[in-house]
Amino acid sequence: MKQRLDKNDALSLYRDAPLEELCEQAQAARFAHVPERRVSYQIDRNVNYTNVCLSGCKFCNFHCRPDEPEKAYTLSCDDYLPKIAELKALGGDQLLLQGGLHPRYGIEFYEDLFRRLKEVEPSLKLNALGPPEIAHIARLSHLTYREVLQRLQAAGLDTLPGAGAEILSDRVRHFLSPAKPSAQQWLDVMQEAHRLGMSTTATMVYGHIEILEERIDHLLRLRTLQDARPAGMPGFRAFICWPMQLTGTLLEQLATEKRLPDGITLPGEPARWAADEEFLRTIAISRLILDNVDHIQASWLTVGLPTGLRALQAGADDMGSIMIEENVVSAAGAHHSLHEVPGAGHDVSLANPAGEHRLRSAIESTGFTPWLRDQLYNPR
């Protein structure tokens, strides 16, 4: 049996292996998980149900505090109707619902919201919240993580996104987002979700104050948790990583004004490679470490389509979503679109049926066959 990568091997592979060699190894691992020369994608819509959040993460331009009434919003049920109608018209079937750690929204708010959305459109899939929100609801409503997840499942939650992981290191989290649930709490929520048979994803946001060892530890913690999922349960179906978007954030401001505390530097790892090479190396090492996760996504909305397509040669097998709406990473500077496909012209918006055709053509240009999937990686 092939030996698993340990921390030291992973560090030296990431740092020292020529990119081509690292990608070749990652591609071999990719084809062991997904033998076919095909690349999946999904059509969904990210809806941010509120922007009120107590967490105050230093990298987030999206949230506002509860005492900023001129900025704060919470969507009403009526607000969802045109969004769902447009999603259906474009061939999508899933809402990715994300918000913040709202000071007043306990379990009943989410149960009511999920039930109403399912009444509006029973075929709609809800990929909603994330471990920080589950931990926050548990605290507000005096429930265990398991009770929160069970009640939300009963109300219509289908799958749990791996949001809010950033880097699973408390050194990093204490500085970036001190009010957010800890790394262990993130893992504990995910473990309960896996025990309940929920399909989840795992994420990593890199390229800020973390050091490389913390990135590798993050991946190893995910692998250990995935090993512990009950037999026959999916656990993490996919892993998604992207570089942190810093434009206009408090973190960028602190760095520019040289107000970061001792021991905190930005970026965490001295830039040895261009940003796209760092992304490709991170995708490849993720594929090699996460030998128990089937799918690795190329997060093209944050790195741009050309680099996202290159990730298909570095171990990724999924292009993620044709996201009809996204507000969080775009608030910090990610504005990529299908315009970046060579020859795609300039009239393509994401909320346009032509977007799917463009993405399929782009995948085909790399020698793979595109296929539309659902959130459980079944063909649609």
Catalog residues that contact ligand SF4 under the rule CB under 6 A: 53, 55-57, 60, 62-63, 100-101, 132, 177, 180
Taking the least distance from each CB to ligand SF4, the nearer of 94 and 177 is 177
Taking the least distance from each CB to ligand SF4, the nearer of 74 and 292 is 74
Taking the least distance from each CB to ligand SF4, the nearer of 30 and 208 is 208
> What residue has token string 């940003």?
275
Taking the least distance from each CB to ligand SF4, the nearer of 53 and 97 is 53
- 83 vs 147: CA distance, rounded Å: 30
Min CB(52)–ligand SF4 separation in Å: 9
Min CB(43)–ligand SF4 separation in Å: 24
Taking the least distance from each CB to ligand SF4, the nearer of 180 and 310 is 180
- Range 351-380 burial, b when 16+ CB lie within 10 A, else e: eeeebbebbbebbeeeebebbbbbbebeee
Min CB(241)–ligand SF4 separation in Å: 16
| Cα 378 to Cα 40, 42, 332, 363, distances in angstroms | 10, 10, 32, 18
Min CB(58)–ligand SF4 separation in Å: 9
Min CB(343)–ligand SF4 separation in Å: 36
Min CB(205)–ligand SF4 separation in Å: 9
Taking the least distance from each CB to ligand SF4, the nearer of 332 and 363 is 332
Min CB(328)–ligand SF4 separation in Å: 7
* Residue 378: φ, ψ to 5°: -95, 150
User: Which residues have CB under 8 Å from 276's CB, separation 6+?
Assistant: 303, 307, 310
Taking the least distance from each CB to ligand SF4, the nearer of 135 and 305 is 135
